[in-house]
A and B are shown apart, each in its own frame.
Chain A
Amino acid sequence: MRFDLPGGGSVQALKDVSISLAPGELMSVLGPSGCGKTTLLNIVAGFLAPTGGEIRINGHRVHGPGAERGMVFQKGALFEWMDVRENVGFGPRMAGQRQRDYRDKVDHLLDIVGLSDFKEKAIYELSGGMQQRVALARCLANEPDVILMDEPLGALDALTREKMQSLVLQLWKETGKTIILITHSVEEALLLGERLLVMAPRPGRIHREYRLPFADLGVGQDLREVKKHPEFNARREEILGMIWDMEEEIMGRPAASQGAAQ
Chain B
Amino acid sequence: MIILLIYVAIFVASFFIVKFVAQKSITDYASLKTVTFGDESAVTPNRFASVISVATIFLLWGAFTGSSWVPGFLHAPAPFEGEARFTYTVAVPNGPIDDAEVLVLVHPIGETVEAPPIDPGEGFAKNDSATVGVWRSGLIRVDRNDQVGREEGATIVAVNGMDIAPGGSVETEYGRVGMSPKGTLNFEPAKGWQMEPIWLPPPEDVLRRIGEISSEGFRGATLWEHLGLSLFRVVLGFLFGAMVGIPLGYAMGLSNWFRGWFDPIVEFMRPVPPLALIPLVIIWAGIGEVGKIILLFLAALWIMAIAARAGVSGVNITKVHAAYSLGASKWQIMRHVIVPNSLPEIFTGARVAMGVCWGTVVAAELVAAEKGAGMMIMVASKFQNTDIVIMGIILIGVIGFGIDILMRRAENRLVPWKGRS
Interface residues of A (CB under 8 A from B): 45-47, 64-67, 69-71, 73-74, 76-81, 90-91, 94-95, 122-124, 135, 138-139, 142, 144, 148
Contacts and interface: CB of A to CB of B under 8 A. Distances in A.
Contact of A90 (B321, B326, B416, B420): B326
Given A77-B319, A122-B417, 6 more contacts: A73-B322, A90-B336, A94-B323, A94-B328, A135-B322, A139-B326
Contact of A67 (B321, B325, B341, B417): B325
A95 B323 CA distance: 12
B415 A77 contact: no
B421 interface: yes
Nearest to B337: A79
Contact of A65 (B324, B341, B343, B420): B324
B316 interface: yes
A17 B375 CA distance: 74
B68 interface: no
B321 A94 contact: no
A86 to B, nearest CB: 10
B313 to A, nearest CB: 16
10 contacts: A65-B321, A65-B324, A70-B326, A73-B322, A79-B341, A81-B341, A94-B328, A123-B417, A124-B420, A138-B322
B184 to A, nearest CB: 81
Contact of B420 (A66, A70, A80): A80
Contacts of A77: 316, 318-319, 321-322
Chain B contact surface mostly: helix
Nearest to B317: A47
Contacts of A66: 325, 327
B147 interface: no
Contacts of B327: 66-67, 91, 94-95, 142
A78 to B, nearest CB: 8
Chain A contact surface mostly: loop
Contacts of A90: 323, 326, 328, 336
B166 interface: no
A73 B316 CA distance: 12
B421 A76 contact: yes
Which of B325, B327, B329 has the largest number of chain A CB atoms within 10 A? B325
B195 to A, nearest CB: 53
Contacts of A80: 417, 420-421
Nearest to B325: A71
B381 interface: no
A-B complex: 4 closest residue pairs judged by Cβ atoms: A67-B327, A80-B417, A65-B324, A124-B420
B325 A45 contact: yes
Contact of B325 (A70, A74, A79, A123): A70
A142 B328 CA distance: 11
A220 B82 CA distance: 101
Contacts of A73: 318, 321-322
A81 B326 contact: no
A123 B319 CA distance: 14
Nearest to A73: B318
Interface in B334-376: 336-337, 340-341, 343
B324 A79 contact: no
Contacts of B36: none
A163 to B, nearest CB: 23
B145 interface: no
A148 B421 CA distance: 23
B214 interface: no
A251 to B, nearest CB: 29
Contacts of A124: 417, 420-421
A77 B320 CA distance: 8
Given A73-B321, A76-B319, A91 B417 contact: no
Contacts of B322: 71, 73, 77-78, 135, 138
B416 A122 contact: yes
Contacts of A46: 324-325
